[in-house]
Amino acid sequence: MLDDAKDIHPLFAGAPSGTEFKKLRKRIVRQTREAIEQFGMIEKGARWLVCLSGGKDSYTLLAVLHELKWRGLLPVDLLACNLDQGQPGFPATVLPEFLEKMGVPHRIEYQDTYSVVVDKVPQGRTYCALCSRLRRGHLYRIAREEGCSAVVLGHHRDDILETFFMNLFHGGRLATMPPKLLNEEGDVFVYRPLSFVAEVDCEKFANSMGYPIIPCDLCGSQDGLQRQQVKRILDGWEANSPGRRQVMFRALMNARPSHLLDPGLFDFAGLTRGTPPVDGNPDALPRLR
């Protein structure tokens, strides 16, 4: 990757010239490209609605996607979008000014979902679930209005792991955020190109670039969130065994239905003696579709 001022997207202007940052930037770009290719996100000529909250993750997403497009490696149009949800004190001018300065095509949408969430959620309960549903509905609508085939989100590897353990501990199911999802109406994809990228890398990148980070004060101020509890557990495991997060993440990509207990994924009742698995793969036969 070249660092000549004439050979970079404006989002990378002023990037640190040190070796450590260059390695970080290269790693994030490589991992993002791998996720896009591995999970089949590219449709040539498509248009993506890139969701920008103003947090470190969405800034990283925006910069890396434009880097890939700048290099000719992402043949899609990109439209940045911020959904201003009416939170008190939200600095409404920060993102429009930033996007204008960077020459990034964008749409700023104002919808007061904050008042709805505060009104509907009982005191003491967390806002995240309802806030997320309302936000997603508006983003699908905006995507349709703008001719976008996909809503692109900045969830990273650690978000995916935390969601897995939240479902495990509190939902009684093995599930997480998929890197690629089709909405219920079947007309808009949801992509997560940062699926392979660590949260710490997003934080280092956004801070090193000096992007104007906007904190989420709606849910971030609530104590005892289940996600924060899970994050602390994962932090403890990682501190005791460095690299543990990546090992667990790889497990999500290496499922063995025949070694779990879901008869909807593997036909245990149909497993009989004398019926060898296909190509020596114990999961290949018999399996329910």
C-alpha span between 152 and 139 (Å, rounded): 10
pLDDT at 1: 44
C-alpha span between 272 and 101 (Å, rounded): 66
pLDDT at 289: 52
pLDDT at 44: 83
Annotated binding site for [4Fe-4S] cluster: 128, 131, 219
Residue 245 lies in a domain: no
DSSP 276: P
> For the whole model, what pTM was predicted?
0.89
Residue 76 lies in a domain: yes
pLDDT at 227: 84
C-alpha span between 79 and 279 (Å, rounded): 45
| Backbone φ, ψ for residue 267 (5° rounding) | -85, 80
C-alpha span between 69 and 78 (Å, rounded): 9
Residue 126 lies in a domain: yes
DSSP 143-210: HHHTT-SEEE----HHHHHHHHHHIIIIISS-----SEEE-TTSS-EEE-TTTTS-HHHHHHHHHHHT
Query: What is the tally of structural domains in the chain?
Result: 1
pLDDT at 107: 97
Please count the other Cβ atoms lying within 10 Å of the Cβ belonging to residue 96: 14
- CATH code of the domain containing 149: 3.40.50.620
C-alpha span between 220 and 245 (Å, rounded): 23
Residue 101 lies in a domain: yes
Please count the other Cβ atoms lying within 10 Å of the Cβ belonging to residue 287: 16
pLDDT at 220: 45
- Both structure tokens of 186: 């079947």
Q: How far is CA 99 from the centre of its chain?
A: 20
> 144: domain range?
16-220
Residue 262 lies in a domain: no
Residue 250 lies in a domain: no
pLDDT at 4: 52
Task: Look at the block and give the residue holding tokens 């497990």.
Answer: 251
- Both structure tokens of 198: 């660590």
Residue 193 lies in a domain: yes
| Per-residue pLDDT tens listing for the chain (289 residues) | 445 545 678 899 889 999 999 999 999 999 999 999 999 999 988 999 999 999 999 999 999 999 999 999 999 999 999 998 888 888 989 999 999 999 999 999 998 888 888 877 777 677 777 788 888 999 999 999 999 999 999 999 999 999 999 999 999 999 999 999 999 999 999 999 999 999 999 999 999 999 999 986 655 444 447 888 999 999 999 999 999 999 999 999 999 999 999 999 998 888 888 766 655 566 665 555 5
The type of residue at 41 is M
Residue 243 lies in a domain: no
- In a 13 Å sphere around the CA of 246, the CA atoms on its Cβ side amount to 7
pLDDT at 133: 85
Which among 164, 201, 156, 160 has a CA at the least distance from the CA of 23?
Answer: 201
Annotated binding site: 128, 131, 219
Which among 62, 238, 227 has a CA at the least distance from the CA of 154?
Answer: 62
